[in-house]
Structure 1
Amino acid sequence: MPDWYTLTVVGAVILAVVVVIVRFRINPVIALALGAAAIGLLTGLGPVDTVSVMTQGFGDVMMEAGLLIAWGVLIGSMLNEMGAITRLVETLLRVFGKRGVPYALGLSFATYLQTIFVDAMIVIAAPLARRIAPRLGKAGTGIMAATFAISLEVGIVMMVPGFAAVALAGLLGVPLGIMLLGGLAVVVPTVILAILVTSVLFRLGFWKPESDEQQLISDGEDAVAVGAKGGERSQAFGGDDDERAAAVATAEASTTSTERGPRDPASVPLLVLFGPMLAALALIAVQAVLTVIEIELPAMQFLGNPVIALLLAVIATGLVGRATVGTPRVERALVRGFQDGGQIFVLTGVGGALAAVIAEGDLGAILQGYFSATTVAPLLVVWVMAAVLHIAVGSVTLSAITAAGILGPVAATLGLNPLLIALAAGAGALFCIHVTSNTFWLLQSFLGQSVRGALKSVTVGVSIASVIALGMTLILSIFVS
């Protein structure tokens, strides 16, 4: 088929997917599946092959990422049940002081705490953030809100075990250990620099408390901003954010005020609570390094395999949970984890189905003709496509997966490392988080910001991180072939 026809079909279908999600509020999973089927039929794959390729693409991504996402969700749910996040934030404040706590908190949220769902993390940690904010000066609320937004969103798409990062790695065939190391190289400087830039801007007068903050109706630890427009939040994953936030808050309250485990969780050292997850990430990283330097150790190949390492972490975290909060609460946490993770599995798999249908055609060869044989142009195109998709759809994960799936074939034809495509897609998907994002409204509600304030801390803050992450990815491309 002519090049112009293939490009027109793919472009029109992706635009239609965006429209039905944003305008008609169709669940992204359904919209993506319909889009994949339409591309297959309109580009000549035929009915039978279209279904076959979609099924194969779904299965391939689930084979790579399904168990890993499941293990991460379960670990996060159990840590939540044990009150580990609240204790960690309080500890960071004591250790790093008021000036250092945004960076310590940001790096924690963006790296090893990525097993916790964003909405749960915001609800759990927001009361502590509100207590920290006054110690940071007049712009404290804005600085803490930007810290939350930047670190949580960057970690989701660029840092293992963030579920979007795991999904991107599976979609593009990037070994999870390599994704972890590459993500770490980009995420750490991105988070530090983005928090620094936004903090300086806010302290120089960009943040105006009189118009960017609003009074909170305080009800214990569950203060919510007056006038929060929760009803305008988009369904980035098809769920109702008000209900999810309320459920998280209710669950958290229940764990602190009703049941008591066999011992007080506060008496258990934080290192014991987080130790299994940190050990798993260390095993994965060590095996990734051994692979790069071409050393084969059978024991490490087994223990450092992400599926095994995270499975061991699930088991060990469960044992710690049983000893601290009791078996019933651990089992309840596991059930909640499976419920919360269900749509992430399907969204990830359907994203793989769309990518497989596109890759089956000749789009990769067509795009190759428009790029010079350098690593810069394709990465910029991936970033721009993911940014545009995110502005329209409001889902960081959906836009990153779609952009990577469309332009992933270019990586193979140009000899470009798929790790760079994954990181560039993640960076682009962070650009301009705004009123279509559930994270925007959660941060606006729980951190005492006006809508104008949230536009500064969330939209501007994370957009700065998006541009910095692109720069870090381009720098990494010099060293990664």
Structure 2
Amino acid sequence: MNEWYTLGVVGLVIVGVVFAIVRFRINPVIALAVGAAAIGLLTGLGPVDTVTTMTRGFGDVMMEAGLLIAWGVLIGAMLNEMGAITRLVDGLLRMFGKRGVPYALGLSFATYLQTIFVDVMIVIAAPLARRIAPRLGRNGTGIMGVVFAVSLETGIVLMVPGFAAVALAGLLGVPLGVMLIGGLVVVVPTVILTIMLMTIAFRLGFWNPEKDEKAIVEEPTKEDAADGSTDTAPSASSPRIDRTRTGTVRTALGGVPHGYTAVAERTEREQPLLLLFAPMLTALLLIAAQAVLTVLAIEVPAMQFIGNPVIALLFAVIATGMIGRRAVGTQRIEKSLVKGFQDGGQIFVLTGVGGSLAAVISEGDLGAILQGYFQATTFAPLLVVWVMAAVLHIAVGSVTLSAITAAGVIAPVATSLGLDPLLIALAAGAGALFCVHVTSNTFWLLQSFLGQSVRGALKTVTVGVSLASVIALAMTLVLAVFL
């Protein structure tokens, strides 16, 4: 089959998928599935083989990543229910002070807190961010906006246990421990450099509080009254969620949010913060330790079992559940698990369909065609992956979808080029961060919950995360020299 025909079919189908999602609001899962089927049929794969390949691709990816995503979702749901994130942010502020807390908070969000869904994290931590912002000076709201946007979005696609990072690892066959270490190498400098550069830009006049912030006021808390600070609040449609001195979760209006019963309030017992996070942190350490042993070619049977990501995170789920039952009661933990599965449903299907698309592409001759156009170097293909993911994200507004799609297109040629799949995953994730704008739900959440105007959100979210995208690409290219 003519190579230009094959390239044209794949290109047009991907453009068609993007157009269907953006213009006609077709669900990304359905659009990707139809696109995968179209590529198979139009490139001569045939009806039967197209369906078989799509099914196999879905199953292969879910076999690699399905349980891992499930465990991460459940851990995040339980930590959310126990109020662990709220307490963590308060603790970071006390420990690192106003100058250090943006970096401490950013690295926390981008690394070990990635089991929490972004939307949930923003809702939980935004009131605390509004308490911190005035203490950072005139540019405080802008700095906190960058911290939230950059760390949360970067962690999703580059850092295990972020669900997109896990999905990319499963799609490309990257061991989760290797993805964890590689992501850490890229994420840490990316978050630190981005926050530092954006803070400098704000201090040089890039941030204008009069135009970049919303003029909304919230009654100060008792803690704020003690230190003289004030808060900015979300709109009336976004009620503040905070904790009283007894640990009871309440809204800004004084009521108990949906899912928090009076019985649960009476039985709640506050546990040490380190204890709440201990299972997840232990699991991540076990995974990383086994990855190091694998690289060193050292076989320790016990570590091969408990350091396996599926087993390590399963133990973390069980241990977190046991701690949660003691902290907030069995009923609330069970409800949080049900809610976690509900929130994670589309992530499961999207990950699997991304695998279907990659399988259909790899089954044809696109791999051989692309191989002929790429030079035998790791840099050119990585730039192509980054650009493809960036363009998809600008059009669709989904970090996860654009990263998975870009990685799925390039994955078939990775082996033939001698390109490490880890680098493809990191380049796709970095590209998917470029230009988070008005098509993204996260953009509007950060705009409204952090007290920013649309102009302000364009600076903190769009410019800030785009800068992180470029820095992450640079870090990936540096890593490519050593792999």
Relative to the length of structure 1, the TM-score reads 0.93
Of 382, 387, 391, 2:385 maps to 382
Stretches (4+) displaced over 6 A? 219-222, 249-252
Of 250, 257, 261, 1:253 maps to 257
Aligned alpha-carbon RMSD (Å): 1.9
Match of 1:155 in 2: 155
Instruction: State the AA in 2 paired with 1:274.
Output: F
Contact 2:130 2:233 in 1 (8 A): no
Match of 1:332 in 2: 335
Match of 1:233 in 2: none
Q: Counterpart of 2:419 in 1: which secondary structure?
A: coil
Shift of 1:215: 1.9
C-alpha distance in 2, partners of 1:282/1:250? 40
Shift of 1:368: 1.1
Q: Identity rate of aligned residues, in percent?
A: 77
Shift of 1:223: 3.6
What are the within-5 Å matches in structure 2 for residues 114-263 of structure 1?
Answer: 114-216=114-216, 218=218, 223-225=233-235, 253-254=257-258, 258-260=262-264
Deviations 1:408-464 (A, max 9, x none): 122111100000000000000000000000000000010000000000000000000
Instruction: State the AA in 2 paired with 1:6.
Output: T
Match of 1:437 in 2: 440
Instruction: State the AA in 2 paired with 1:8.
Output: G
C-alpha distance in 1, partners of 2:260/2:215? 26
Q: Structure 2: state its 5+ residue gaps.
A: 222-231, 239-250
1:89 equivalent to 2:65? Answer no
Shift of 1:369: 1.1
Instruction: State the AA in 2 paired with 1:408.
Output: A
Deviations 1:239-289 (A, max 9, x none): xxxxxxxx9x999834667443675443x1111000000000000000000
C-alpha distance in 1, partners of 2:26/2:273? 42
The change in CA–CA distance for 1:388 and 1:250 in structure 2 (over 3 A counts) is: farther
C-alpha distance in 2, partners of 1:378/1:465? 20
Contact 1:262 1:323 in 2 (8 A): no
Match of 2:466 in 1: 463
Shift of 1:469: 0.1
Match of 2:309 in 1: 306
Contact 1:18 1:389 in 2 (8 A): yes
Of 294, 317, 330, 1:291 maps to 294
Instruction: State the AA in 2 paired with 1:173.
Output: G
Contact 1:71 1:310 in 2 (8 A): yes
The change in CA–CA distance for 1:426 and 1:259 in structure 2 (over 3 A counts) is: farther
Contact 1:216 1:226 in 2 (8 A): no
Q: Counterpart of 1:294 in 2: which secondary structure?
A: coil
Match of 2:322 in 1: 319
Shift of 1:402: 0.2
C-alpha distance in 1, partners of 2:84/2:263? 16
Instruction: State the AA in 1 paired with 2:161.
Output: P
Of 449, 454, 459, 2:452 maps to 449
C-alpha distance in 1, partners of 2:13/2:293? 43
Match of 1:411 in 2: 414
Contact 1:142 1:207 in 2 (8 A): yes
Q: Counterpart of 2:435 in 1: which secondary structure?
A: coil
Shift of 1:370: 1.1
Q: Structure 1: state its 5+ residue gaps.
A: 229-246
Contact 1:225 1:449 in 2 (8 A): no
Instruction: State the AA in 2 paired with 1:70.
Output: A
C-alpha distance in 2, partners of 1:184/1:226? 38
Instruction: State the AA in 2 paired with 1:224.
Output: P
C-alpha distance in 2, partners of 1:430/1:331? 34
Of 342, 355, 358, 2:358 maps to 355
